[in-house]
């Protein structure tokens, strides 16, 4: 990711447009926050979201534009082959992927059958909260197929022309991974759906002043879509995915295994109680767990630590803004927003107060507060659960 181009193309013009007294200084401060959010680490940057950039203080639309650019830059440069995985925490094969036993079994069979019959693997739709391993599974499937993977983000595909230009670049038998596939416009979904249905790419040709509709064969590929919100896909489009898999949360045991795996890749010695504490605070999310593992690795290198203990984990959590109750800054802000409107209110009002989208609040902040029994979802909205 080039921070300087983000600064000159998005951040600086924004501060200039609102008449900031010192747009250069403001852009520098924002750039530092972007780095703190992990945008310099390819594996983190590849799935960064607008809410991860909340600390920049920028409006949602600008954060979204930044997050999309950071993700696209990172995804375009991610290694798909296993290669040297020493510092790459993303698993490269099914054996390295923790959990998902049944899905891995189904996919192994499907991959072997597709190879034996020389037919393409059926399209796959992966759904579930972010950070649980959708990109990981997609890249592993491409690896296991020994196929090239093309990585796209749904919001890149807005018009039928985007689809045409994209399909013309596909390589036969490759895997096309579309992250946040629900970000595709309706028109783009319809065009891609027809390509998946007929195996042909519709084209409009201009001949002698007349427009003629024609079509050319589309390269046979396997499309793997990933979404946090499958209901936003058109039904016929969703139905074109022959395999669908919903990723659920990992057990504490699986999370500890992911933590141990990351620690061993990083060459980090971490006490079992320290891993447990880490797992208790990473919201059952491997992505957060890996972000913390990378930060612990920095701490270990910077302070020449021999081993990571519970105290080091406590220090790290504090540095990440966790409070005594174990709440993160955005969760505290949520609780404060709800208290400010009398302890209950609609999700839309809470999201507006937080300057976030309803789906982001619902998908990232609330889940944990509901699971911890701190708030309740009611027919009218959300309500704080008073503790006696
Ligand atoms: P998503 O695409 O759902 O947002 P990712 O696939 O980017 O999630 O996962 C985030 C990180 O968590 C990955 O880089 C990977 O290192 C780790 N991870 C996710 N799932 C697993 C798993 N099942 N086993 C091991 N590591 C995992």
Give the pLDDT score at 81: 37
CATH number of 252-319: 1.10.8.60
* CA of 46, closest atom in ligand 1: 7
* 183-237 tens-digit pLDDT: 999 999 999 998 998 899 887 766 677 777 888 889 999 999 999 889 999 999 9
Does residue 249 contact residue 202 with C-beta atoms inside 8 Å?
no
Give the pLDDT score at 363: 78
Taking each helix axis from N to C end, the angle separating 310-319 and 272-281, rounded to the nearest 10 degrees, works out to: 30
Substitution candidate for ligand 1 out of 128, 131, 141, 179 with most atoms within 8 A of CB: 131
Q: How far is the CA of 39 from the centre of ligand 1 (A)?
A: 16
Segment (H or E) for 274: helix 272-281
Give the pLDDT score at 309: 97
The response to whether residue 293 sits with its C-beta less than 6 Å from ligand 1 reads: no
Q: How far is the CA of 132 from the centre of ligand 1 (A)?
A: 5
Residue 326 DSSP one-character state: S
* CA of 261, closest atom in ligand 1: 25
Q: Whose CA is nearest to atom 11 of ligand 1?
A: 287
Q: How far is the CA of 316 from the centre of ligand 1 (A)?
A: 21
CATH number of 330-384: 1.10.10.10
Q: Whose CA is nearest to atom 9 of ligand 1?
A: 133
The response to whether residue 151 sits with its C-beta less than 6 Å from ligand 1 reads: no
Give the pLDDT score at 18: 83
* CA of 97, closest atom in ligand 1: 24
Residue spans per domain, the chain: 3-75, 94-246, 252-319, 330-384
Distance of CA 311 to the CA centre of its chain: 30
* 228-281 tens-digit pLDDT: 889 999 999 999 999 999 998 899 999 999 999 999 999 999 999 999 999 999
The response to whether residue 290 sits with its C-beta less than 6 Å from ligand 1 reads: yes
Gap between the Cα atoms of 135 and 154, Å rounded: 13
Gap between the Cα atoms of 70 and 1, Å rounded: 6
Q: How far is the CA of 131 from the centre of ligand 1 (A)?
A: 6
Give the pLDDT score at 16: 84
The response to whether residue 126 sits with its C-beta less than 6 Å from ligand 1 reads: no
Instruction: Tell me how crowded residue 127 is: count the other CB atoms within 10 A of its CB.
Output: 21
Q: Print pLDDT tens along the chain (388 aa).
A: 578 888 888 888 888 888 888 888 898 899 888 888 878 777 678 778 888 888 888 888 788 888 888 887 776 654 443 333 345 888 999 999 999 999 999 999 999 999 999 899 999 999 998 889 999 999 999 999 999 999 999 988 999 989 998 998 899 999 999 999 999 999 999 999 989 988 998 877 666 777 778 888 899 999 999 998 899 999 999 999 999 999 988 999 999 999 999 999 999 999 999 999 999 999 989 999 999 999 999 999 999 999 999 999 999 999 999 999 899 999 999 999 999 999 999 999 999 999 888 888 887 888 889 988 999 998 889 999 987 6
Contacts of 273-279 spanning 24+ positions with Cβ under 8 A:
273/309, 273/310, 274/308, 274/309, 274/310, 274/312, 274/313, 276/252, 277/310, 277/313, 277/314, 278/313, 279/252, 279/255
Phi, psi of 84 (to 5 degrees): -85, 105
Largest CA distance in the chain: 80
Give the pLDDT score at 207: 66
Substitution candidate for ligand 1 out of 45, 90, 249 with most atoms within 8 A of CB: 90
Closest CA to 257 of 242, 227, 278, 238: 278
Give the pLDDT score at 105: 95
Q: How far is the CA of 97 from the centre of ligand 1 (A)?
A: 8
Does residue 277 contact residue 310 with C-beta atoms inside 8 Å?
yes
The response to whether residue 259 sits with its C-beta less than 6 Å from ligand 1 reads: no
CATH number of 94-246: 3.40.50.300
Give the pLDDT score at 372: 87
The response to whether residue 49 sits with its C-beta less than 6 Å from ligand 1 reads: no
Q: Which residues contact 377 (CB under 8 A, 6 or more apart)?
A: 366, 370
């Amino acid at each position: 990711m080039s921070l300087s181009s983000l600064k000159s193309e998005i951040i600086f013009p924004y501060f200039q447009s609102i008449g900031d007294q010192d747009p250069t200084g403001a852009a520098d401060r924002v750039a530092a926050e972007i780095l703190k959010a992990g945008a310099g680490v390819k594996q983190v940057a590849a799935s960064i979201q607008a809410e991860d950039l909340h600390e920049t203080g920028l409006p949602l639309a600008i954060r979204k534009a930044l997050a999309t650019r950071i993700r696209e830059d990172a995804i375009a440069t991610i290694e798909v082959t296993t290669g040297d995985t020493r510092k790459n925490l993303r698993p490269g094969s099914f054996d390295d992927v923790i959990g998902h036993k049944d899905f891995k079994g189904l996919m192994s069979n499907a991959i072997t059958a597709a190879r034996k019959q020389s037919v393409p693997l059926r399209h796959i739709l992966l759904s579930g909260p972010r950070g649980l391993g959708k990109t990981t599974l997609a890249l592993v499937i491409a690896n296991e197929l020994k196929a090239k993977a093309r990585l796209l983000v749904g919001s890149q595909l807005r018009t039928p022309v985007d689809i045409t230009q994209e399909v013309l670049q596909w390589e036969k038998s490759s895997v096309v991974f579309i992250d946040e596939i629900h970000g595709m416009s309706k028109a783009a979904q319809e065009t891609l759906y027809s390509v998946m249905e007929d195996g042909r790419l519709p084209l409009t040709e201009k001949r002698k002043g007349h427009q003629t509709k024609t079509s050319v064969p589309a390269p046979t590929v396997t499309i793997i879509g990933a979404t946090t919100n499958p209901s936003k896909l058109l039904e016929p489009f969703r139905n074109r995915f022959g395999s669908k898999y919903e990723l659920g949360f990992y057990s504490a045991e699986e999370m500890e295994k992911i933590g141990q795996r990351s620690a061993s890749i990083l060459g980090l010695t971490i006490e079992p109680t320290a891993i447990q504490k880490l797992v208790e605070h990473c919201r059952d999310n491997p992505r957060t767990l890996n972000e913390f593992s990378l930060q612990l690795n920095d701490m270990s290198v910077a302070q020449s630590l021999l081993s990571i203990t519970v105290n080091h984990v406590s220090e790290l959590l504090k540095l990440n803004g966790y409070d005594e109750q174990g709440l993160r800054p955005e969760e505290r802000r949520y609780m404060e927003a709800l208290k400010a409107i009398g302890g209950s209110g609609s999700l839309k009002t809470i999201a507006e107060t937080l300057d976030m989208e309803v789906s982001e609040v619902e998908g990232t902040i609330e889940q944990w507060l509901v699971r911890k029994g701190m708030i309740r979802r009611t027919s009218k909205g959300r309500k704080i659960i008073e503790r006696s």
